[in-house]
Structure 1
Amino acid sequence: MTGSLNPTALARLLGSWQSGALPAYRELADVVRLLVMDGRIPLDVALPSERSLAQTLGLSRTTVTAAYASLREQGFLTAGQGSRGRTCIPHRSFPVTMRGLAAPEGLLDLAYASLPAAGEVVHRAFADALTELPALLPGFGYDAVGVSALRQAIADKYTDEGIPTTARQILVTSGAQHALNIVLKTIAGKQDKVLVEHPSYPNALDAIRAAGCRPLPVALPAAGTTPAWDIDSMVAVMNQQRPAMAYLVPDFHNPTGRIMSGLQRRRLARAADSTGTVLVVDETLRGLNLDGVEVPPMAAFSPAVVSIGSLSKSHWAGLRTGWIRADEELINHLVITRTTMDLGGPVVEQLAAARLVSAYSEPLDSRLAELRHNRDALMELLAEHLPDWEVERPQGGLTVWCRLPSPGSTALTVLAPDFGVRLAAGPRFGVGGAFEHYMRVPYTLPPAQLEVAVRALRAAQDKLDASPQLRRSLKAGRQAAVA
């Protein structure tokens, strides 16, 4: 998205941002950074000129100049021409002084829950793909459905899991997010209602809003509660609101790491069939089963289920390869929608992905063992250094969902880069500013780096606890951003 933000609009987003707890330029930069990270100010948008914003906020131009300079230094604002830099997200590590902490140079990024490539396996798959490429070179290279070898490999994978599937039921996409956008554009029109778990995957919530749909959040029960999903409430919402679709992550839910039981899946599938709600199930994390829980895929309980999958979490996000499994008629409609967005994915990546899907479990044994070790290390570190945080033990996936002793998630997110850590605030996972009491912490880093990160969180928490006025200021800025 490109464009510009006028000073009046930015002032409205800032709300009551100035508390006096920090220098004015620092408070201004912190709240603008929060708005960018939280998606309230879009990327690639030009901020108001220093002069116009200073006049609107009643500040000196020097204060605004210093705030913009801080944002540029941290990578949240481009240099631009004059003072009209554009918003951005830093794509590199930059030096940060960690007070009292022994840390490597640069930020530890806990805002993303992703793993490096399963190195040798991915490399070998691409090498093999290049040997198969010549056979496809006489063709045009456009294929909106996907390379046949990959579609068949994905179909075979579902069949092996007890869900008979043909290649005609598979559409290959450029990742799971691309798949969700195709599904939304096909199934849910503007102002249609979409049931979502609460909390949920933030990029999915963004896609639902961008499609002009209205998310209907249904809260997950508190940690430790049985059952782990409130199916009664979900069924009631379906019966009363008749949403066009439901977006769910039943397999090692992001961010909680929970897995939905077979009985819950059966009830939900029956309710969706009776109300005409299309169940769209994100299975991106299904392969990251740390505790060996055996539950059939959601599609086992209804042929109407639409399944989204990807290799991003299990193998490597750089593959940008995902898929949709649905009945053949819907796949045909999805292909038509897809051609309005792009004409197909890159061929070599699909050939490599076909190799990886066919030998799906090859890198997972060692990868799962590493993730179990990381998870256990993170749980121990949080218990030692942040004992007031209530931590939900995940059964799989990549993240731990933590309840904070007070509503300070946004404030911690703003403070954490000063201590060498980048975070995603709890409200990113909700609707309407919810989850200030929560923080998602990935265990994708090795234990030594997790220890540095947790110590940094402890230091940021101590600073926040010592400055209630700072907490109030940041909370006010957050509320204004949500309004």
Structure 2
Amino acid sequence: MHTWTTALGAARLARLLGGAGFPPADRTPAYRGLAASVRLLLLEGRLGVGVRLPAERELAAALGVSRTTVAAGYQQLRDWGYLASRRGSGSWTVLPDGHPVPTGALAPLPPDRAGAVLDLGCAALPAPEPWLTAAFTAALQDLPAHTRTHGDHPAGLPVLREALADRFTARGLPTTPEQVMVTTGAMGALAAVRRLLARPGDRVAVEAPSYANVLQMLRRDGLRLVPVALGEALSGWDPGEWRRVLRDAAPRAAYVIPDFHNPTGTLVPDDQRAALAAAARAAGTVLVADETMAELSFPDDDGDGDDDGDGDGGRGRGGARVGGAAPGPRPLAAHDPGGTVVTVGSASKAVWAGLRIGWVRAAPAVVRRLVADRAYADLGSPVLEQLAVARLLRDGGWDAALAERRLRLRAHCDAFAAALRDERPEWSFDLPPGGLTLWVRTAGLSGAALAAEGDRHGVRVAAGPRFGLDGAFEHYLRLPLTVGGDTAREAVRRLSRAADAVAAGAGTDRAGEVFVA
């Protein structure tokens, strides 16, 4: 569990409670409605575990209710197990003993069940053809020039570092090859950056929710995670909340996913990127920006990248047009050329998960330190795969594959949205502007129970708590946009049958052992 405790102001909690149904519209007593709304915020991850709540008098004034109402609401939360108090220290949010927390074991789907189970645990598409095979065919022609050497390139092949630098520059972030290190996938990049920036016991700020595998990696490395809630309805970050956390918690680093966030699909606008970069610079915190899905924007029906006819992609202005995509926000690092931002990317989401090539983009001095440290890790990445990625970038295969993927993901998203509206109209979601995932609110059903029951109905999904800390996001599921058409509808039908079983009292309180990617 994370151990950092932070305070929440009365005005901000009052705003959050207003979005969580307080005051209650029915005849529920106000104190009980207050407690239920706080519990909902906690379980959905909009309010973190370990957050110190305002004093009773302050919250009563902000809500326009009596202090007695707030005191009774706090006591109800204590009785339910969601609030702990100590004289002189105030009251802070907790989770009840025995509340389901996702386990660390993530088991892939057994091969003998692949034909009977629809696996929605992995957010990755099949390889794009014919572009991937063409890239490897060309890479084999390039290989002999490299087999006459030792083949050990800790920083990456020069040809790929140059191609990646050119790609960053085309996206509005001027970059030289000396600012790029090639890694074995984005997880390899993040592990290398973590080893350089933080030691066990250090605090690292993370979005809530965030990518499950990175959260687990940071936990296993002994870091103390400080959650910062994402905004509602894909609105991005809360700059004020980030400034407060960076000031009060003073984390060594912060891990963020600005582009088509996994799992929510959020695309953070330029002004919020600039605000976070400035706040991190002032606090001395290094921002680690995960750009693995930065180029997976959805096209729209008329091809201009938006749905409102203004041609801006519905995502703001300022970014460069690359590979036929509508201009979006500038890369986070473009808002701080001084080096506060370290960028991580990979070919695994944009192209193919089997292509385990990632990269780090940082200041040259940081790259040199990462390369030196690599001698004690994996030494380097496979040469043939690096040559293939370089060919994809140089020969146009990358952009062609992206164009196909954007169309496919948009169609898959539409298919899932239509099926969910038909099968589970009480569930809700915000349609993302890109990415690989749909973040679904389950109208109070346990995501952990749904995941366990879904496996028995032939569909595997990842429950919301995997993407939060200490069991948060219990009423969410992540649906990867990896299938479409009739397959997407059948997956939702199976999930709906599982939901009926859970609502009737079936299922368990234990998250299914789903392989998450």
Q: Say which SS state the counterpart of residue 111 (structure 2) adopts.
A: coil
Q: Write out aligned runs for 1:320-399 (5 A).
A: 320-358=356-394, 359=396, 360-399=398-437
Q: Say which SS state the counterpart of residue 307 (structure 1) adopts.
A: strand
Pair 1:287 & 2:306 matched? no
Deviations 1:325-375 (A, max 9, x none): 000000011112222111111100000011112333121222211111111
Pair 1:299 & 2:333 matched? yes
In structure 2, C-alpha distance between the alignment counterparts of 1:381 and 1:110, rounded to whole Å? 15
Q: Deviation at 1:408?
A: 1.0
TM-score w.r.t. the length of structure 2 is 0.72
Deviations 1:9-68 (A, max 9, x none): xxxxxxxxxxxxxxxxxxxxxxxxx98xx434x47xxxxxxxxxxxxxxxxxxxxxxxxx
In structure 1, C-alpha distance between the alignment counterparts of 2:294 and 2:126, rounded to whole Å? 18
Structure 1 segments (4+ residues) deviating >4 Å: none
2:272 pairs with one of 247, 264, 267: 264
User: Which residue in 2 is equivalent to 1:317?
Assistant: 353
2:179 pairs with one of 141, 165, 169: 169
In structure 2, C-alpha distance between the alignment counterparts of 1:459 and 1:39, rounded to whole Å? 25
Q: Say which SS state the counterpart of residue 355 (structure 1) adopts.
A: helix
In structure 2, C-alpha distance between the alignment counterparts of 1:414 and 1:265, rounded to whole Å? 38
Deviations 1:193-240 (A, max 9, x none): 11100000001101111221111101112226xx42212111110011
Tell me if structure 2 keeps the 8 A contact 1:93–1:107.
no
Pair 1:466 & 2:504 matched? yes
Q: State percent identity of aligned pairs.
A: 42
Deviations 1:112-160 (A, max 9, x none): 1110001210000000000000001111111111011100000000111
Q: Say which SS state the counterpart of residue 318 (structure 1) adopts.
A: coil
Q: Deviation at 1:93?
A: 4.5
In structure 2, C-alpha distance between the alignment counterparts of 1:446 and 1:243, rounded to whole Å? 41
User: Which residue in 1 is equivalent to 2:261?
Assistant: 253
Amino acid at match of 2:180: I
Amino acid at match of 1:441: L
1:427 pairs with one of 465, 477, 494: 465
Q: Deviation at 1:391?
A: 1.1
In structure 2, C-alpha distance between the alignment counterparts of 1:142 and 1:276, rounded to whole Å? 35
In structure 1, C-alpha distance between the alignment counterparts of 2:499 and 2:110, rounded to whole Å? 26
Q: Say which SS state the counterpart of residue 296 (structure 1) adopts.
A: coil
Q: Deviation at 1:451?
A: 0.8
Q: Say which SS state the counterpart of residue 362 (structure 1) adopts.
A: helix
Tell me if structure 2 keeps the 8 A contact 1:378–1:451.
yes
Q: What CA RMSD, in Å, does the superposition of the two structures yield over aligned residues?
A: 1.6
User: Which residue in 2 is equivalent to 1:235?
Assistant: 243
Q: Say which SS state the counterpart of residue 399 (structure 2) adopts.
A: coil
User: Which residue in 2 is equivalent to 1:39?
Assistant: 103
In structure 2, C-alpha distance between the alignment counterparts of 1:288 and 1:240, rounded to whole Å? 35
Tell me if structure 1 keeps the 8 A contact 2:413–2:484.
no
Tell me if structure 2 keeps the 8 A contact 1:312–1:321.
yes
Tell me if structure 2 keeps the 8 A contact 1:194–1:244.
yes
User: Which residue in 1 is equivalent to 2:197?
Assistant: 187
User: Which residue in 1 is equivalent to 2:281?
Assistant: 273
In structure 2, C-alpha distance between the alignment counterparts of 1:312 and 1:89, rounded to whole Å? 17
TM-score w.r.t. the length of structure 1 is 0.77
Tell me if structure 2 keeps the 8 A contact 1:410–1:426.
yes
User: Which residue in 1 is equivalent to 2:54?
Assistant: none
Tell me if structure 2 keeps the 8 A contact 1:427–1:436.
yes
In structure 2, C-alpha distance between the alignment counterparts of 1:407 and 1:455, rounded to whole Å? 16
1:204 pairs with one of 199, 203, 214: 214
Q: Deviation at 1:398?
A: 0.7
In structure 2, C-alpha distance between the alignment counterparts of 1:147 and 1:334, rounded to whole Å? 15
In structure 2, C-alpha distance between the alignment counterparts of 1:140 and 1:222, rounded to whole Å? 52
Amino acid at match of 1:454: V
Q: Deviation at 1:404?
A: 0.9
Gaps of 5+ in 2: 1-99, 299-304, 306-312, 316-327, 512-517
Amino acid at match of 2:424: L
Q: Say which SS state the counterpart of residue 363 (structure 1) adopts.
A: helix
In structure 1, C-alpha distance between the alignment counterparts of 2:248 and 2:353, rounded to whole Å? 38
Q: Say which SS state the counterpart of residue 119 (structure 1) adopts.
A: coil
Q: Say which SS state the counterpart of residue 205 (structure 2) adopts.
A: strand
In structure 2, C-alpha distance between the alignment counterparts of 1:163 and 1:361, rounded to whole Å? 18
Tell me if structure 2 keeps the 8 A contact 1:185–1:211.
no
Q: Say which SS state the counterpart of residue 144 (structure 1) adopts.
A: coil
Q: Write out aligned runs for 1:30-179 (5 A).
A: 38-40=102-104, 42=105, 88-94=107-113, 105-179=115-189
Amino acid at match of 2:356: R
Q: Deviation at 1:315?
A: 0.6
In structure 2, C-alpha distance between the alignment counterparts of 1:392 and 1:341, rounded to whole Å? 40
In structure 1, C-alpha distance between the alignment counterparts of 2:103 and 2:138, rounded to whole Å? 40
Please identify, of 359-368 and 266-275, the stretch whose mean Cα deviation from structure 2 is larger: 359-368
Amino acid at match of 1:39: T
Number of corresponding residues: 382
Q: Say which SS state the counterpart of residue 427 (structure 1) adopts.
A: helix
Gaps of 5+ in 1: 1-33, 44-87, 96-104, 479-483
Tell me if structure 1 keeps the 8 A contact 2:273–2:332.
yes
Amino acid at match of 2:352: W
Deviations 1:228-263 (A, max 9, x none): 221211111001111000000010011111100100
In structure 1, C-alpha distance between the alignment counterparts of 2:159 and 2:111, rounded to whole Å? 36
Deviations 1:145-194 (A, max 9, x none): 10111000000001111211111100000100110000000001111111
In structure 2, C-alpha distance between the alignment counterparts of 1:338 and 1:211, rounded to whole Å? 17
In structure 1, C-alpha distance between the alignment counterparts of 2:203 and 2:445, rounded to whole Å? 29
In structure 2, C-alpha distance between the alignment counterparts of 1:346 and 1:39, rounded to whole Å? 32
